[in-house]
Chains A and B, each alone.
Chain A
Amino acid sequence: MPTIEQAIATFGVTIDDHLDRQAEIPILSGLQFQGDVAVVPANREPARTPVPESGVPIVRGQAEANTHLLLATGKAFFAPERSGGGMVLGVLTVAEGATAYLAHPEHAFTGIAPGTYELRRQREQADQARLVAD
């Protein structure tokens, strides 16, 4: 398991400095949450669009801060969802031998093992259900 320090060195992203640099990032294949984003194992058609080296901003926060950024070492693919009311952000496929990460300044890293997942956004019951901004 890489540490936060190693992941920062690999991807060059900014993580809040009070978070422990030596903490290890678990690489998991089950259900995980990073704030208002969920990584949900899914039985879906694998995605085919490669995640670029610069990553994919899954949820963009205000003024670029608090963006959930999808990154990978090895082959990972992401297909944004075009329908579904905005709750399902897209399908993520992590190839064998690869690892995907969600990076966020306040939540550090979520390590994602090989498999296919739905990335989802949290919602709230307002007048109509609306998405959560954390």
Chain B
Amino acid sequence: MNPPGPARSTADEREAPRTPRAERGRDDTLDERRAWESAARACYQEIGVPFPERVVWVSSPLVGAFAAPIAACLSTGHRNNRVLDSVYRVVGETAGETVGHVVRAAVQAAADGAVSDPVHGAAATALHTEIASAMGSAMASAVRDTAHVTPAREESRQVSTGALAMVARASDAAVRAAVDAAVGGPRQDTIRGEVRRLWRAHLACQRSDTWLTLVGRFRQDTVQPLDEDRSWRTLAEQAAAQTAPAGWWWWPFLDFVMLCPRPAELHLEQVGEGVQATHRPHRADGPAVGWTDGFGLYFWHGTHVTQAVIDDTLTADEILRETNAEIRRCAIERRGWDRFIAEARLAQVGPAVPDPGNPGQTLTLHDVPADIYTTHVRVLLCTNGTVERDGTRRRFGLTVPAECTDPLEAAAWTYGLTSAQYATAQRRS
């Protein structure tokens, strides 16, 4: 087995000063990079290919998705600068200037001075398929060779693989969309073709339990005491962070390896309690998952949505025209039913009625057209029984079965009561 080498040439080290210190301490620990590299070396060894000299860390999956294919093209001797410049330009235009710059830096680190092999194109050979199928046997060797090493905590993985799998799927979708936006147009050339083809030539850690376990074998138990880092809000988030290995996505080529760190930020919410508790990504005021270069993934209670949904910048019409019912629902919930009812002019069903037990407050019921929500519902608009800090009372909507014909019946349904029972309410706080 090759000894773990030092982490080398990195494009993202240039980015490091912009990373808040707390995050840098967590993401870029040398130990983690070494663990990743040892695991990757084991895989290369398994397929009988020398581990490349060039190990390039990029700042996010998005950057790697552009940089790896472009570097592969340059390694094969692609020297058409006009095409290269036009690709760089379109990446900057569609994915943002920052991403454009770091893509260039990463390509340079991976391909500069490479011995190009224009005849066979071998330098640019992507090895992801071979490596994916060799992981199992690499694992077997690692277990044999490192039996003395304590593997990273197993229990922390249980907490969070579900949430991490959701994040991995969303990364995939977001990167796919960005690649389509940049190079999916009618204009095609060698580099564009390779970006469309090779961005997928990555190994995402969550797809393979074997890979996680393999990195774990090489990881000294670097798991921090759980409450040491206060920038992580919950134990689950810490566990998820510690589970995701440093090489979140990696692109194995003959000539170079490109990889990106796990997300610098991850916000989860707990669903359920006790032993049945699960976690899912969620954040109402920003990306639930973020990398240091600004690439972020947005989630509403576990559903991957666009930034516009979370930033709440859609018009009511745009929400209504959203074709995916699940995302439409998220957008409405993010907006809040009280505002959405007014903006979308949802028809009121029956008169407003006083809310029993909640003096001075009323209940109203509104129709929700059958095709705009996941199921046919009506929405009951209620007011909290307790005042907020600013003296107002929070208004909120609850979806109820479309069969409810008046506000009282709807309110009663939400607690499984009859209208007559609900009407006897003495107090709401």
Contact B429 A34 (CB under 8 A): yes
Residues 1-50 of A at the B interface (beta carbon under 8 Å): 16, 18-19, 26, 28, 30-35, 38, 40
Interchain CA distance A125-B400 in the complex, whole Å = 5
Give the contacting residue for A62; candidates B269, B377, B400, B421; CB below 8 A.
Answer: B269
Least CB distance from A70 to B in Å reads 15
A residues near B273, Cβ cutoff 8 Å = 60
Q: Given A63-B234, A124-B414, A127-B374, are A110 and B400 neighbors across the interface (CB < 8 Å)?
A: no
Q: Given A108-B386, A110-B427, A132-B414, are A122 and B374 neighbors across the interface (CB < 8 Å)?
A: no
Interchain CA distance A9-B373 in the complex, whole Å = 47
Instruction: Tell me if A75 counts as interface (CB < 8 A to partner B).
Output: no
B residues near A32, Cβ cutoff 8 Å = 357, 425-429
Contact B415 A120 (CB under 8 A): yes
Chain A residue, CB-CB nearest to B417: A40
Which interface class (under 10, 10 to 19, 20 to 34, 35 or more) fits B? 20 to 34
Contact B233 A63 (CB under 8 A): yes
Contact A125 B375 (CB under 8 A): yes
Contact A33 B427 (CB under 8 A): yes
Chain B residue, CB-CB nearest to A130: B399
Chain A residue, CB-CB nearest to B386: A107
A residues near B374, Cβ cutoff 8 Å = 126-127
Interchain CA distance A35-B384 in the complex, whole Å = 7
Contact A123 B414 (CB under 8 A): yes
Contact A33 B416 (CB under 8 A): no
Interchain CA distance A85-B374 in the complex, whole Å = 21
Interchain CA distance A117-B318 in the complex, whole Å = 46
CB-CB contacts of A42-71 with B at 8 A, as 1s and 0s?
Answer: 000000000000000000101100000000
**Do most interface residues of chain B lie in helix, strand or loop, or is the interface mixed?**
loop
Least CB distance from A63 to B in Å reads 6
Least CB distance from B226 to A in Å reads 14
Chain A residue, CB-CB nearest to B396: A134
Chain B residue, CB-CB nearest to A34: B429
Residues 342-382 of B at the A interface (beta carbon under 8 Å): 357-358, 374-375, 377
Contact A19 B427 (CB under 8 A): no
A residues near B386, Cβ cutoff 8 Å = 19, 35, 106-108
Contact B429 A125 (CB under 8 A): no
Instruction: Tell me if A87 counts as interface (CB < 8 A to partner B).
Output: yes
Contact B424 A108 (CB under 8 A): no
Interchain CA distance A56-B398 in the complex, whole Å = 27
Least CB distance from B363 to A in Å reads 12
Instruction: Tell me if B29 counts as interface (CB < 8 A to partner A).
Output: no
Instruction: Tell me if B401 counts as interface (CB < 8 A to partner A).
Output: yes
Interchain CA distance A109-B358 in the complex, whole Å = 15
Least CB distance from A115 to B in Å reads 13
Least CB distance from A18 to B in Å reads 5
Contact B399 A30 (CB under 8 A): no
Give the B-binding residues of A (Cβ under 8 A): 16, 18-19, 26, 28, 30-35, 38, 40, 60, 62-63, 87-88, 106-110, 120, 122-127, 132
Given A109-B429, A123-B414, A126-B375, 5 more A-B residue pairs with CB atoms under 8 Å apart are A16-B389, A30-B425, A32-B428, A60-B273, A120-B415
Give the A-binding residues of B (Cβ under 8 A): 233-234, 269-270, 273, 329, 357-358, 374-375, 377, 384-389, 398-401, 414-417, 421-422, 424-429
Please name 7 pairs of A and B residues whose Cβ atoms are closer than 8 Å in the assembled complex, sorted by A. A30-B426, A33-B358, A34-B385, A40-B415, A107-B386, A122-B414, A124-B400
Which are the 10 A-B pairs with shortest beta-carbon distances? A30-B426, A33-B428, A38-B415, A125-B399, A31-B425, A107-B429, A18-B389, A32-B427, A28-B426, A122-B414
